[in-house]
């Protein structure tokens, strides 16, 4: 990795892309220190440690929500729009047809996603206003103040969407993913400060801290291995003659990542688990809120073993569900047949589609179990150890590793395109 970064820096064009990326990231981090006027942030500190959706948003925004700066919503509206449009692509024939039209269709879908993100940003800004009002964080409840707050966070979110696109086009890596990556990394010093505070308060001892660091390092290594692991389906292509040319048969494979749906499954499961409490907080004095937070409804009581069990099952289900709707065995089998390809030992057509579906189901279950273990570990850690209030999540590890590996792959591909043989060895 270090050699790849060094060689990328030596290449003038890649050096410009790196500097451009760092410049835009610096602008983003500066914006994270510009507060929205009219908000009492002291009333929002509990959001960071809550199990609600806003707690998750605060995590991927780098603490911007609990501090309520101009980037309080971050790129969450764009993420929500991307997930919804991706799911609708399977359900709506018009969007499905666009997805098959190559680069032009992809651009149209991306434009639809951007416009949808604006709508999500407006809706979410109003939801945030209701939430911070319930927390008693509004200093001024006039209509003008509310309008300015909603306008500020909505405009800033749209600006971040544009900023991410600029990084993707003129920089290195996926811009939106890099912004989330920077947010998560920026919280590491604060997490270290939290652990030091727990040790100084004698809540945990030095041995427990060492064990904690060792376990986190082991999880990090496991995530890297699973992110690089793939199930390869062998494919044999028959030889054919086109005009005066004869093409020999060749053997290749279809790579299926073992943990392709891990982050999405955790996001879906987290949303389902946090949704009842989040909605109930709009009416904190209602019987619904009291019922959800009582011990009777233990699956919604965070840091309990019941919560961890339901959370794990939901992650497993969504990993399988997301894999089933994004991968299409019938189309893969049909395209393979059109290219004179076949899986050795499997008959073309329906049998091939069933075989691919069987492999996908097994891979999704393995990936779901792994993602579930990663996601449930912080819940168990906080519920049954002395590490209380630590802003540590399995989702963070999956995102950080995934973005880092993807950015590194893009750097390597850029170097290979410029014929720097030997640099990647």
Q: Is 130 part of a structural domain of the chain?
A: yes
The predicted pLDDT at position 155 comes to 92
Q: What total of structural domains would you count in the chain?
A: 2
Instruction: Look at residue 404 and tell me if it is in a domain.
Output: no
**pTM, rounded to two decimals:** 0.78
> Do 159 and 286 have their domain in common?
no
Both 174 and 201 in one domain: the answer is: no
What is the Cα–Cα distance from 366 to 258, expressed in whole angstroms? 7
Of residues 22 and 136, more confidence is placed in 22
Tokens, residue 367 = 């990936």
Contact 219, 400 (CB under 8 A): no
The 8 Å CB, 24+ separation contacts for 99-107 are: none
Choose the weakest-confidence range: 14-23, 36-45, 139-148, 346-355. 36-45
Q: Is residue 401 part of a domain?
A: no
Is 104 in the same domain as 123?
A: yes
Domain membership of residue 74 as a residue range = 1-186
Residue 292 binned pLDDT confidence (cut-offs 50, 70, 90): low
The verdict on 164 and 193 lying in the same domain is: no
Q: Are 56 and 87 in contact (CB under 8 A)?
A: no
| pLDDT tens, residue by residue, 143-161 | 888 888 888 889 998 999 9
- Are residues 94 and 203 both part of a single domain? no
Same domain, 209 and 149: no
Would you state the pLDDT for residue 85? 86
Condensed to tens digits (0 to 9), the pLDDT of residues 201-217 reads 667 778 777 888 888 88
Instruction: Verify that 291 and 258 share a domain, yes or no.
Output: yes
Residues 41 and 146 in one domain: yes
| Alpha-carbon gap, residue 157 to 277, rounded angstroms | 25
Same domain, 203 and 172: no
Give the list of residues 6+ apart from residue 70 with CB closer than 8 angstroms, or none.
31, 34, 35, 36, 152, 153, 156
Span 306-360, pLDDT tens digits: 778 888 888 888 888 888 777 788 888 888 877 778 888 888 888 888 888 888 8
The larger pLDDT score, comparing residue 413 to residue 298, is at: 413
Residue 161: name the closest of 115, 205, 93 by CA. Answer: 115
Token look-up 């960071």 returns 48
Q: Which of the residue ranges 40-44, 62-66, 216-220, 412-416 would you say has the lowest mean pLDDT?
A: 62-66
Percentage of residues of the chain with pLDDT beyond 70: 79
Q: Report the relative pairing of strands 230-237 and 245-247 from DSSP bridges.
A: unpaired
- Which one has a higher pLDDT value, 20 or 129? 20
Q: What is the mean pLDDT of residues 233-244?
A: 73
**Domain check: are 327 and 352 in the same one?**
yes
State both tokens at 416: 């290979």
């Amino acid at each position: 990795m270090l050699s790849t970064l060094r060689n990328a820096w030596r290449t003038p064009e890649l050096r410009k892309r790196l500097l451009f990326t760092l410049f835009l990231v610096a602008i983003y981090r500066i914006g994270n220190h510009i507060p929205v006027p009219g908000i009492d942030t002291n009333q929002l500190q509990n959001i960071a440690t809550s199990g609600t959706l806003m707690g998750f948003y605060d995590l991927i925004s780098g603490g911007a929500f609990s501090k309520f700066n101009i980037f309080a919503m971050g790129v969450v509206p764009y993420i929500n729009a991307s997930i919804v449009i991706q799911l609708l692509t399977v359900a709506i024939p018009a969007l499905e047809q666009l997805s098959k039209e190559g680069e032009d269709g992809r651009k149209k879908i991306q434009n639809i996603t951007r416009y949808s993100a604006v709508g999500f940003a407006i809706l979410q800004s109003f939801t945030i206003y209701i939430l911070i009002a319930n927390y008693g964080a509004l200093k001024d409840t006039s209509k003008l103040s509310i309008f300015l707050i909603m306008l500020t966070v909505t405009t800033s979110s749209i600006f971040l969407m544009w900023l991410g696109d600029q990084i993707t086009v003129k920089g290195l890596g996926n811009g939106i993913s890099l912004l989330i990556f920077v947010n998560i990394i920026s919280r590491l010093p604060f997490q270290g400060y939290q652990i030091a505070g727990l040790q100084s308060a004698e809540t945990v001892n030095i041995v427990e801290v060492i064990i904690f660091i060792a376990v986190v390092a082991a999880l990090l290594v496991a995530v890297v291995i699973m992110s690089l692991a793939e199930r390869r389906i062998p494919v044999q292509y028959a030889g054919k003659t086109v005009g005066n040319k004869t093409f020999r048969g060749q053997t290749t494979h279809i790579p299926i990542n073992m943990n392709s749906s891990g982050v999405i499954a955790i996001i879906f499961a987290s949303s389902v688990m946090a949704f009842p409490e989040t909605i109930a907080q709009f009416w904190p004095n209602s019987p619904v809120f009291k019922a959800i937070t009582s011990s009777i409804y233990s699956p919604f009581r965070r840091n309990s073993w019941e919560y961890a069990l339901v959370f794990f099952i939901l992650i497993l289900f969504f990993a399988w569900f997301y894999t089933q709707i994004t991968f299409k065995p019938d189309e893969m089998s049909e395209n393979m047949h059109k290219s004179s390809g076949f899986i050795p030992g499997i008959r073309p057509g329906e049998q091939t589609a069933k075989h691919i579906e069987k492999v996908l189901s097994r891979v999704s279950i393995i990936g779901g179990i792994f993602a579930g273990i990663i996601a449930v570990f912080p819940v168990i850690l906080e519920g049954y150890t002395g590490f209380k209030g630590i802003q540590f999540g399995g989702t963070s590890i999956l995102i950080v590793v995934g973005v880092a590996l993807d950015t590194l792959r893009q750097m390597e591909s850029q170097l290979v395109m410029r014929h720097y043989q030997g640099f990647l060895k």
